[in-house]
Amino acid sequence: AAGVIQSPRHLIKEKRETATLKCYPIPRHDTVYWYQQGPGQDPQFLISFYEKMQSDKGSIPDRFSAQQFSDYHSELNMSSLELGDSALYFCASSPVTGAEQYFGPGTRLTVT
């Protein structure tokens, strides 16, 4: 069965640079969620989109923005990167809001 696809899987950036993470949800899933997991931490919810509109907002820094496109894929844009942004970034999708969320393999971002 098709799963959530995230790209790139690994990304190394320097401080103050920008990064763009991409997420392709499971086919026919219209809702996308972004999470950040720091070392030894639990995943923290950042933001979600339903039918291309922002739905819920968690602990997403102002330096980050995200959007969902007409084909339902989503991109997380991160600017002025800081060392503390180094983490695993997961995308999840669900077929309808409130249902189970299915996670992608994650993008490991390292900021040096």
Question: What is the contact surface with another protein in residues (CB under 8 A)?
Answer: 4, 31, 33, 35, 41-50, 55-56, 58, 90, 92, 94, 97-98, 100-106
Distances (CA, A) of 18 to 30, 51, 67: 27, 26, 16
Closer by beta carbon to another protein, 15 or else 99: 99
Closer by beta carbon to another protein, 79 or else 88: 88
Closest CB 82 distance from another protein, rounded Å: 22
Closer by beta carbon to another protein, 35 or else 64: 35
**Is the preceding peptide bond at 105 cis, omega within 30 degrees of 0?**
no
Closest CB 16 distance from another protein, rounded Å: 28
Contact 10, 1 (CB under 8 A): no
Contacts of 104 (CB under 8 A, 6+ apart): 3, 4, 5, 6, 23, 90, 91, 92
Closest CB 32 distance from another protein, rounded Å: 8
